[in-house]
């Protein structure tokens, strides 16, 4: 999937409570994703909490708890890198379907910042680090804030 065509999104978080749930595998990439998300959310005026979980498989349950605890939106961050077994597919599927289900069931927007990559370089390219081409942590945070505003208009 290409990163070209990404929109410019409103990022006013005044009065909002945003929970960032972040997996812990692949430390360097995760540090970049978290910095990108927090660098968008904190200046936006939102109240921000960061919750760490072991892996991307655990992101949906943390997002569900954040939603039931009153978060206005959740930003989910993780990195899954393909290995030599089908495990990659199961973790990606669990995270993607789980986060989608949480968002639809609770009505709380979930910004999807889970990288699913063939190798570490693909992840580094999207991590918002100084040499990265893209910043998926920032994009997920912007999407979460913008979706809150979109839903409020309905």
Residues that bind ligand DLZ (CB under 6 A): 23, 25, 54-58, 78-81, 83, 87, 91
- The answer to whether residues 108 and 68 touch, using CB atoms and an 8 Å cutoff, is no
Q: Which of the residues 28, 68, 87, 97 is marked catalytic? A: 87
Residue 87 annotated as catalytic: yes
C-beta nearest to ligand DLZ: residue: 55
- In this complex, which beta carbon is closest to ligand DLZ, that of residue 87 or of residue 133? 87
What pairs with residue 114 in β-bridges?
A: 78
- In this complex, which beta carbon is closest to ligand DLZ, that of residue 25 or of residue 52? 25
- The answer to whether residues 69 and 18 touch, using CB atoms and an 8 Å cutoff, is no
Smallest separation (angstroms) from ligand DLZ to the CB of 18: 21
- The answer to whether residues 66 and 51 touch, using CB atoms and an 8 Å cutoff, is yes
Q: For strand 17-22 and strand 73-81, is the pairing parallel, antiparallel, or unpaired?
A: parallel
Smallest separation (angstroms) from ligand DLZ to the CB of 77: 10
Neighbours of 135 (CB within 10 A): 24
Q: Catalytic amino acids?
A: 87
């Amino acid at each position: 999937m290409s990163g070209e065509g990404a929109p410019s999104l409103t990022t006013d978080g005044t009065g909002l409570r945003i929970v960032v749930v972040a997996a812990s595998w692949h430390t360097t990439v995760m540090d970049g994703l978290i910095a990108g998300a927090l660098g968008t959310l904190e200046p936006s005026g939102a109240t921000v909490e960061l919750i760490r979980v072991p892996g991307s498989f655990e992101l949906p349950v943390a997002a569900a708890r954040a939603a039931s605890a009153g978060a206005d939106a959740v930003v989910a961050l993780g990195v899954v890198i393909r290995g030599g077994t089908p495990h990659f597919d199961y973790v990606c599927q669990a995270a993607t379907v789980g986060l989608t289900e949480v968002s639809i069931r609770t009505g709380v927007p979930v910004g999807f910042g889970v990288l699913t990559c063939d190798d570490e370089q693909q992840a580094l390219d999207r991590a918002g680090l100084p040499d990265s081409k893209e910043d998926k942590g920032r994009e997920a945070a912007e999407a979460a804030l913008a979706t809150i505003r979109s839903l409020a208009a309905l």
